[in-house]
Structure 1
Amino acid sequence: MQVRLKNRKQQIVDLALELLQTRGFENFSYQDLARQLGITKASIHHHFPKKEDLGVALCQAIQDWHEREFSKSRAFAGSALEKLDRYVRGTLRYGGCEKKICPLSSLQADIASLPEAMRPALKRLDDHELEFVAELLQQGRDNGELSFPGDVRAQAVLVVLTCKAALQYSRVHGSEMFDEAMAQMKQLMVASQ
């Protein structure tokens, strides 16, 4: 019975994550989840009494995905720039298709209407991603591979913003726009030989 409950809870989170990426947090309901999963709303409320509880679980699911991807990049034997490229490609796989948006970007777009309990989880998620990118940029700067003015964290913000904005624009203009924007960002950071 415990395994089934865990699977049901994971099914709810997985479907909610998909709906977050296609509709936004405010635009799906427990009724939508129940209908698509073939269960009752009471079953969803059993696992997540309030939608904000589900929202916090979504933030955790996104952070877990990030950590798996970040671990893969950290373990990769390549350069800091190659590790950064792995992060960018992972982001593209996760949130870069015609009908989906990056789940973190979706939550950020809904910030004004998100329940208060979700906001600290969203901030932790933002910081988690920025810290990872800053870590890679610092490695690249330390080994002479990357060069950029100013603070590493500020550069991490620019990289993440470029990536997320390029994902959005590529939904309208095609994946070439994403590739061009990220190539330009990398070119601006590569240390001159």
Structure 2
Amino acid sequence: MAWVLASTSPRRKELLAQAGFSHLDFSFQLVAPNIDETPLSTETAEQYVCRLALEKAQAGLALSSHVVKPQVLGSDTIVVLNGLILGKPIDQNDAKRMLALLSGQTHEVMTAVALTDGEHTFNRLCRTQVSFCELSAADIDAYVGSGEPMDKAGAYGIQALGGCFVKSITGSYSAVVGLPLVETRELLACMMQHT
């Protein structure tokens, strides 16, 4: 059996390594799934993020034909503010728009994780509440100018400069970064019991 992470995120790579620390021979390969991340008009935010995690895992499985007995983990993270899904910004203006919306507000970060070997599939959804302080236009301009928000859901990274805007968090810090450690360890344990 071989573990595969269907992601190009360096944050998820680091977190998955942490999740498997108790297994002496835990290692994994990386594949880069390419899926359509367009929300379907009929799906809720929960359905959307869970679908993307599963599709990434399935796409990763298809890319892992060279691996003996691959077990593929896919994950996706979205930011939801008052029912509005904030994905990765398309440009700097979009990042500024998202940060202005999040300023002084509490939003929800949803991270879904799916693990499949083609025969068994397990998944989890982690929800975390994050409250931002008030952001000035100068704060937003400086942060967007750093380039950090451009590849992150909601246009911020809690684990780096964006953490300066977080007033409080209720839930899983690692899920906000991109991979909920407790839930991921549960999935790894489930898969090991079924193989």
The answer to whether the superposition gives a TM-score over 0.5 is no
Structure with the larger helix share: 1
Structure with the larger strand share: 2
- Larger radius of gyration between Structure 1 and Structure 2: 1
